[in-house]
Amino acid sequence: MGVTSRLTGLLARNKRTVPARPVPGAALAEIEDLYVRLGGREVLAGIDLTARAGEVLALVGPNGAGKSTLLAALAADLPAASGGIRIDGRPVGDWSAPELALRRSVLPQSAALSFPFPVEDVVRMGRAPWAGTPFADSDERVVAEAMAATEVTDFAARPFSALSGGERARVALARVLAQQAPLLLLDEPTAALDLRHQELVLRICRERAAAGDAVVVVLHDLGLAAAYADRAAVLHDGRIATAGPPAEVFDDALLSRVYRQPVEVFAHPRGGAPMVVPVRVAPASRGGADTAAGGAI
């Protein structure tokens, strides 16, 4: 609680305007012709992207393609070499840090948090931007709802640092949800999660979009992206190779080239969502009677 109250005290002294609920389809983050250089290398080049209220946008692409960098740019956490970044209709430089915190929440890729604090306090840190506003009255309810949604209520009193990797990832997401910003920027929220909780997290993304938020989520699982995203942007070498509804942009040839791994795309027998499967050596041609029999390992 100590850290939370010090942080909220700091934020309460800053002036800020609480954002109105976004109009469906409103552009909550817009990037125009963005170039980013890091360590002397061009990491993003010529990026145009808009995150809209009511939509789940998946960022996919191979390691090093620029997904986390793009998410950081959308979060206004990164200086652009050139190009425009607008959040909630205004250039990023026009917002103060407390005002930004009411407009976008960010789940970093590697939650380098090793707080010794109880889980509940970690989630409550997400409420810091609301201190001093009329909405601070909802803090306890919002924290409880965020913990319930991510299924971490059972360990509310345990130290965050004593949780498993997947449990920590869900607590980190609960903190982001508790922030109640209309733009959610989530970097690989499912990377450490089991099957049930991967689905849970993507359902939460859909619920937030249905409630009017804009959700941008980095995913490596193209099946999850296809099943849950309204649009997907495929990044390749710092550029957007293609963007659009997954059923339109998840193309065998394009994905095989971008990932440097032959893949096949099938339509799911129910619903038709694309399923992306690596081309693998058939078990029969792997040889060995033991393998075929599923026996000795």
Ligand X SMILES: Nc1ncnc2c1ncn2[C@@H]1O[C@H](COP(=O)(O)OP(=O)(O)OP(=O)(O)O)[C@@H](O)[C@H]1O
Q: Whole-number minimum distance, CB 93 to ligand X, in Å?
A: 21
Candidates 64, 245, 272, 283; binder of ligand X (CB under 6 A) is 64
Instruction: Tell me how far, at minimum, the Cβ of 64 lies from ligand X, in Å.
Output: 4
3-state secondary structure 31-48: EEEEEEEECCEEEEEEEE
Q: 50 pairs with which residues across the strands?
A: 30
Could you tell which of ligand X, Mg ion, none binds residue 165, using a CB distance below 5 to 8 A set by kind?
A: none
Q: Does 109 bind Mg ion (CB under 5 A)?
A: yes
In whole angstroms, the minimum distance from the beta carbon of 109 to Mg ion comes to 5
Q: How far is the CB of 117 from Mg ion (least distance, A)?
A: 26
What are the E-state strand segments in the chain? 27-38, 41-52, 56-60, 82-87, 90-91, 104-107, 183-187, 214-218, 231-236, 239-244, 263-267, 274-278
Query: Beta partners for 214?
Result: 183
Say how far apart CA 243 and CA 251 lie, in whole Å: 11
Looking at the DSSP bridge assignments, the partners of residue 277 are 264
In the list 2, 20, 41, 280, the residue contacting ligand X (rule: CB under 6 A) is: 41
Q: Tell which one of 4, 50, 68, 198 touches Mg ion (CB under 5 A).
A: 68
**Of 16-24, 56-64, 221-229, 277-285: span binding ligand X (CB under 6 A):** 56-64
CB of 41 to ligand X, least distance (A): 5
| Nearest partner of 3 among 167, 113, 134, judged by Cα | 113
Under the binding rule (CB under 5 A), the answer on residue 69 touching Mg ion is no
φ and ψ at residue 51, rounded to 5 degrees: -105, 120
User: Interface with Mg ion by CB under 5 A: which residues?
Assistant: 67-68, 109
User: Interface with ligand X by CB under 6 A: which residues?
Assistant: 38-39, 41, 43, 61, 63-69, 109
